[in-house]
Structure 1
Amino acid sequence: MGATVELVCDPEVLAQAEYIVLPGVGSFKKGMENLKKNGTDEVIRSAAIINKTKILGICLGMQLLGSQSTEDCETAGLGLIANRVERFTTKELGQNKIPHIGFNSIHFTGQRGLFSDLSEPSDFYFAHSYRMLVDNIEGLYATCSYGIDFLAAFEMDNICGAQFHPEKSQANGLVFLRNFLKKDRLC
């Protein structure tokens, strides 16, 4: 894809990044605690709001971009988008199992931006028990149906998120990541 990737633990180095990818697998509360330990949470907020750095949250990383999660009681997120994260319930999923693991189709509001060059619908790989609600999303977004519809991906200006794992989603994941890295668009 032509991108140089660097694992960054130093907030000062992170503040200079052209792109930030916030990956994650695990607990929302622990993820936020880890970001707060050395001020990385404030660096990400500043990069997003002041510097307009392109940010992509993947799986837990996308959830951390939101305002709060019900996992481990109520835990505040980065607040870059005003969305809540809630656990799937067996009542709303019917016969579907928790966690949601495997390939599933997503449907998007437009085939541009992150979703350029993807067919409608497109399959991506998911592994999660919590989902971001489809509230307060402006711009482009995609939903996935797994008993109920949930937010699968979004792009709002320079802030982007994917509940699925593009790195495990084969050709569609590569297209999605290439689209994120395009210089001629915010996100």
Structure 2
Amino acid sequence: MGNLRSVAKAVEHVAPDKSVIISSDKNEIANAEHVVFPGQGAARDCMRELDDRNLTQVVLTAAKEKPFLGICMGMQVLLNHSEENDGIDCLGLYEGNVRFFGKDLKSDKGEKLKIPHMGWNGVDQTVEHPLWHNIKNHSRFYFVHSYYMDPQDKNLVAATSDYGIEFVTAIAKDNVFAVQFHPEKSAQDGLQLLKNFTQWNGK
């Protein structure tokens, strides 16, 4: 969904000793040591692609069994539902909804904020995690999105950001880590996060 090649190039850059494959082959995904699940665009299109390629189950299995990194749409569809386009059921790995920022979003100074939320924003780490290694708290990352994740289990939350409202920027549980921002577009801190992921054993 959109940013596969740029993500792959970024991972190749930080892990030159690893074999990085862009794949829709179930066996290749099942045999991978780590899985990156990136995406941008619409949740409905993402779910349709997964269904059409018979990848839904292999993605869910990977998210339960090996180091798994969701990026942007690849984070959002881990919940069971999105408000986008009158509603769409997603992967349902975690309970919760993906919500629209709203048309009348305003800053704390009363200024109207543009949707989509696009550009650099600070990320407040709320838990210690191996993927935050060598990344200072409140570092800035690059975002492009109109919807945000609202998980039912607040213990999933690994970071938040502010854009008129406080929203979930990252989640972490067991072998899964997922982020709303695009690490592949986030300069050195984004590359550090990707490097941390390639070295992470999922624990």
What is the TM-score normalised by the length of structure 1? 0.91
Q: Secondary structure at the match of 1:83?
A: strand
Segments of 5+ residues of structure 1 without an aligned counterpart are none
Deviates more, 1:69-78 or 1:165-174: 69-78
**Percent of paired sites with the same residue:** 36
Aligned residue number for residue 128 of structure 1: 145
The CA distance in 2 between the partners of 1:138 and 1:4, in whole Å, is: 33
The CA distance in 2 between the partners of 1:93 and 1:12, in whole Å, is: 47
Per-residue deviation, 1:169: 0.3
Given the alignment, which residue of 13, 27, 37 partners 1:12?
27
Map 1:144-163 → 2, pairs under 5 A: 144-163=161-180
Aligned residue number for residue 191 of structure 2: 174
The CA distance in 2 between the partners of 1:125 and 1:42, in whole Å, is: 30
Letter paired with 1:168: K
- Do the aligned partners of 1:114 and 1:155 also contact (CA within 8 Å) in 2? no
* Superposed CA offset, 1:58-93 (max 9, x none): 111111111110112221111112221011113344
Q: Secondary structure at the match of 1:72?
A: helix
Aligned residue number for residue 48 of structure 2: 33
Per-residue deviation, 1:140: 5.5
Given the alignment, which residue of 76, 79, 102 partners 1:66?
79
The CA distance in 2 between the partners of 1:139 and 1:113, in whole Å, is: 15
Letter paired with 1:43: V
Deviates more, 1:77-86 or 1:141-150: 77-86
> Judging changes above 3 Å, is the alpha-carbon distance between structure 1 residues 40 and 134 closer, same or farther for their aligned structure 2 residues?
closer
- Do the aligned partners of 2:142 and 2:183 also contact (CA within 8 Å) in 1? yes
The CA distance in 2 between the partners of 1:134 and 1:145, in whole Å, is: 16
Aligned residue number for residue 81 of structure 1: 94
- Do the aligned partners of 1:134 and 1:150 also contact (CA within 8 Å) in 2? no
Per-residue deviation, 1:23: 1.0
- Please report the RMSD computed on the Cα atoms of aligned residues, expressed in angstroms: 1.6
* Superposed CA offset, 1:97-152 (max 9, x none): 10000000010113432212111211000001111125413255100100001111
- Do the aligned partners of 2:130 and 2:200 also contact (CA within 8 Å) in 1? no
Count of matched residue positions in the alignment of Structure 1 and Structure 2: 184
The structure where helix makes up a greater share of residues is 2
- Do the aligned partners of 1:11 and 1:38 also contact (CA within 8 Å) in 2? no
The CA distance in 2 between the partners of 1:134 and 1:82, in whole Å, is: 6
- Do the aligned partners of 1:63 and 1:131 also contact (CA within 8 Å) in 2? yes
Q: Secondary structure at the match of 1:67?
A: strand
